[in-house]
Amino acid sequence: MPAEWIWRNGQFVKWEDANVHVTAHALHYGSSVFEGVRAYATPDGPAVFRLQPHTKRLINGAKVMKIDMPYSEDEINNAILETIARNGHESCYIRPIVFRGAGALGLEGRKIPAMNKAGTPTEVVIFTMEWGKYLGEDEIENGADVMISSWRRMAPDTHPALVKAGGNYVNSQLVSMEAHDNGFAEGIALDVYGYVSEGAGENIFVIVNNIVYTPGAWSSILMGVTRDTVLALLNDLGYEVRFQPVAREMLYMADEVFFTGTAAEITPVRSVDRLPVGSGKRGVITKRLQEEFFAITGGQLPDRHGWLTHVQQKETVK
């Protein structure tokens, strides 16, 4: 469901007018960084979940990709809150994106005075929309059926996996399309060494004998904000977490497996390669994490970690 207004380079434009030229550098070379953020409905109005970590990652991503960022972290945060308020959302999905726009079609797209290259302008856009459960309403409770993809995640010296860059998601598209073409809800990619990396658009957790395992940065994962959230909740609830390479067969032997991500939130995995995970139902720990997560984001439990930024706090921003 599109919203009425989109924030673009410091001004609001109508959804239908937020166009880019066909020569935009990002369209040809994937030179963009972006974020996925959610705002949840609470008794005190809409609240953005973990706004600051998302914006910080966006700015760090632009730095790594050497895309000039014309706005500060605070300016982006305020623009996100104002966009939500202007569109009148109770809850929504938020997509900030920074990309190289129309101009020179050189491979780098950046200004290089020594080579007399002018570069392309940076575009910054924030749009909001209504978006339900990424892997489906049923999967949130009953779990998703997934497969191990034949596509591997990038080696650590090829792409910056810690950056949420548009170009990186060519790999994710291939993983996702292969899974859907084979009748699965999602695909899981292995890393270059053959260990579990992550889903096409999600981080992954594996539970064996009440111990929670999850891959680290060495497995070419995106260090997800929701992943970090779940780690904090697991600590609150007293579960042991181990960061280590995860062998593929651990997924088949696991008592529970679940995905995390802004879009996926916390989604249990029901089967991997048509082998049931545990009892083939959502596990106890996954369910407990979901209950905790949705109670905090919905305002039913105290925001003990300061994760929510309420939109009405910034209504005076112009």
**Residues annotated as catalytic (active site), given as ranges:** 164
Distances (CA, A) of 250 to 116, 176, 282: 54, 21, 17
How many residues can be counted in the chain? 318
Tell how far CA 155 is from the center of its chain.
20
- Look at strands 203-208 and 211-214 and give their pairing: antiparallel
Q: How far is CA 29 from CA 25, 70, 141, in A?
A: 6, 21, 39
Spatial CB neighbours of 38, under 8 Å, sequence gap ≥ 6: 48, 49, 91, 92, 93, 94, 262, 265, 297
